[in-house]
Structure 1
């Protein structure tokens, strides 16, 4: 009998550092979309807080920390990253496992290096004055649809569809090399 072997979207690619910026594939745990049923927004938020000790994020925001995070993922939808969702949430929201659908990477760096890399790929201002820790956006990343979340002063989580993992790696490495060559 054939045994299937689970692989990450980037198949275990080692972290890459070019210049002052590091790119690493990360495991966010279980990824679950949480979409409240009509009229159940507050109840879903209360259940999320009670079960996972994180607040329901406002639009364009993320709450939580490494290990458990709620990321705004569009109108009336949050991506719960980390633990499996508590069963209580299913009373108030549709829950869909998205774990195998996304590639997650962390882009980190020193100073403006990471911002300069992102400036080459995303059409939004990611400067700390505008895009603060806990801010998130569904946006274009080069020519792909994705999600960008600032999780620290110089750290971002980027999500793209799993099928685009190789393209994301390629585009980020080219932008990192371009910024490093400038420095």
Structure 2
């Protein structure tokens, strides 16, 4: 039996902010009618949290749900619970039109942490997103591009962001983040 590991097996880099591979993360892509009561109940049961508003993420104690598009959510649960949560979503949805797929091993998650202004600065170097605290608040979720690849970001709190990307580009994204947080590369655009 093989030993399952994350894309970068816990790699981290320390610059003016810290970049860390978050390890194995359970992720389910759920598509369907986001206004349907069955889907809302299934999401609440699976992620232990509320349905997110457009462009936001809703975090619970053991998981979260991010709004990806008008008919798509990213449900995040502990890696070991994915199969059970998929079954629960399927049972909760019954014959209602939906698609729920385990994408855990196709994705990678990073944490970028440190001083809030420096974390925002590092991400702003790589993405066409206004990362100012007034424009990108804690709880907002954004899909965009990070240099040449798609990525999604959200602020966990002041001084910590999360980045999700495809596993196939994990090393590329890690290297981008490592370069963007390299000591001496501070732009100091955002006020401390």
TM range, normalised to the smaller chain? Answer: 0.7 to 0.9
Compared with structure 1, are the counterparts of its residues 39 and 51 closer, same or farther at alpha carbon in structure 2 (3 Å cutoff)?
Answer: closer
TM-score (norm 1): 0.86
User: How large is the Cα RMSD of the aligned pairs?
Assistant: 2.2
Give the aligned partner of residue 45 of structure 1.
Answer: 40
Give the aligned partner of residue 123 of structure 1.
Answer: 128
Equivalent pair of 2:10/2:23 in contact (CA under 8 Å): no
Give the secondary-structure state (helix, strand or coil) at the position aligned to 1:130: coil
Q: After alignment, is 73-82 or 136-145 more displaced? A: 73-82
- Structure 1 residue ranges, 4+ long, deviating more than 4 angstroms after superposition: 178-183
Give the secondary-structure state (helix, strand or coil) at the position aligned to 1:177: coil
1:80 aligned to 2:85? Answer: no
Q: After alignment, is 98-107 or 74-83 more displaced? A: 74-83
Of 92, 95, 120, which aligns to 2:100? Answer: 95
1:11 aligned to 2:9? Answer: yes
Number of positions where the alignment pairs a residue of Structure 1 with one of Structure 2: 178
Give the secondary-structure state (helix, strand or coil) at the position aligned to 1:120: helix
Compared with structure 1, are the counterparts of its residues 51 and 116 closer, same or farther at alpha carbon in structure 2 (3 Å cutoff)?
Answer: closer
Q: Which runs of 5+ in 1 are unaligned?
A: none
Equivalent pair of 1:28/1:67 in contact (CA under 8 Å): no
Query: Structure 1 residue 82: deviation in Å?
Result: 1.3
Equivalent pair of 1:116/1:179 in contact (CA under 8 Å): no
Q: After alignment, is 155-164 or 45-54 more displaced? A: 45-54
Give the secondary-structure state (helix, strand or coil) at the position aligned to 1:169: helix
Give the aligned partner of residue 173 of structure 1.
Answer: 178
Q: Which runs of 5+ in 2 are unaligned?
A: none
